[in-house]
Amino acid sequence: MIHWLQAPKSTQIAKYVECYWLIEKTADSSAYQHPKLNPDPSAHLIISPEDQAYHYDLNPGIACGAGSHWLFPHKQTFELDHSNAFIHLGIKFKIGALYSLPNFSDDLLALDRVELVQDTSLFKQLGLNDSQLIDTARSNPDQCCAQLDTLLTPWLAACSEDQHSILTNKALQQLNSATISALGEQLYCSQRTLERSFQRVTGLTLKQCQSMNRLEEMLEYLYQREATDLDWVDIAFKFGFSDQPHLIRYLKKQLGFTPKTYEKERGLTIDAYGGISD
């Protein structure tokens, strides 16, 4: 398993792109074959060789196809099929970024979906050369990121902000530390206006987005520690999940009773997709 993760260098790109990431599983790897992909409020554009199949269990439903594809923000936990060798070069967008992008899809707020991107007008417009990008990603991550910055610049230069996205961006900056019911007042607007704008831009409610962020934060914390070092009462209160004993039970089961190697491999996969840095 090879992987890296880097933020864009260009500040213009960084406004909309969280990071670029690469994950590769070679044929001889014994990595866990069906890792789970945790809920993620961000969209990913995943660049893959055109003949490389993908398979997502969307819970419910499945999405399969081949080549590059969009992975839209998802509230569901997806299960991946990683039984064969694969390579993915990903572009992780910031939460709500798709709303500001020039129109590329019929449904801007698609949630819980995977969509083929190969042969679409966007793909051609961007001039993405998957095999060349992937080769560079393997050999020279810095150069690959610079290339992606360059490729994305004309597209993202055409982004536009409106009142909804401006308000949503302000809310996102405070969401992790704020009490949701106090957020409207902090941003000088009614709670109703804020909720509507936020939903319009991200497809999610403030509460959903906050929970997803906290879950990601909690998983990052969990993966950095040995299962025996975890105090679940501390974790539940630290990440605001003390009211969800079923979630704690679920995670404890996932982490507590699995061999160490499984955890590590499984963790890596989720690290890359979920954008957890280490």
Site residues for other proteins per CB under 8 A: 230-234, 236-238, 242-243, 245, 248-249, 252
Q: How far is the CB of 174 from other proteins (least distance, A)?
A: 18
Cβ closest to other proteins, residue 28 vs residue 229: 229
Distance CA 190, CA 272 (A): 37
* Cβ distance to other proteins smaller for residue 106 or 229: 229
Q: Give φ, ψ of 152 to 5 degrees.
A: -80, -20
Q: How far is the CB of 253 from other proteins (least distance, A)?
A: 12
2 vs 272: CA distance, rounded Å: 10
CA distances from 144 to 125, 136, 179, 190 (A): 19, 5, 40, 44
CB of 246 to other proteins, least distance (A): 10
Nearer to other proteins, 209 or 251 (CB): 251
C-beta of 237 vs 258, nearer to other proteins: 237
| Cβ–Cβ < 8 Å for 24, 138 | yes
Check whether the bond before 60 is cis (ω within 30° of 0). yes
How are strands ordered across the β-sheet holding 36-37?
A: 36-37, 78-80, 53-57, 62-66
Least separation, in Å, of the C-beta of 219 and other proteins?
A: 17
For other proteins, the closer CB: 186 or 242: 242
Tokens 């070679």, located at residue? 26
Distance in Å, CB of 257 to other proteins, minimum: 14
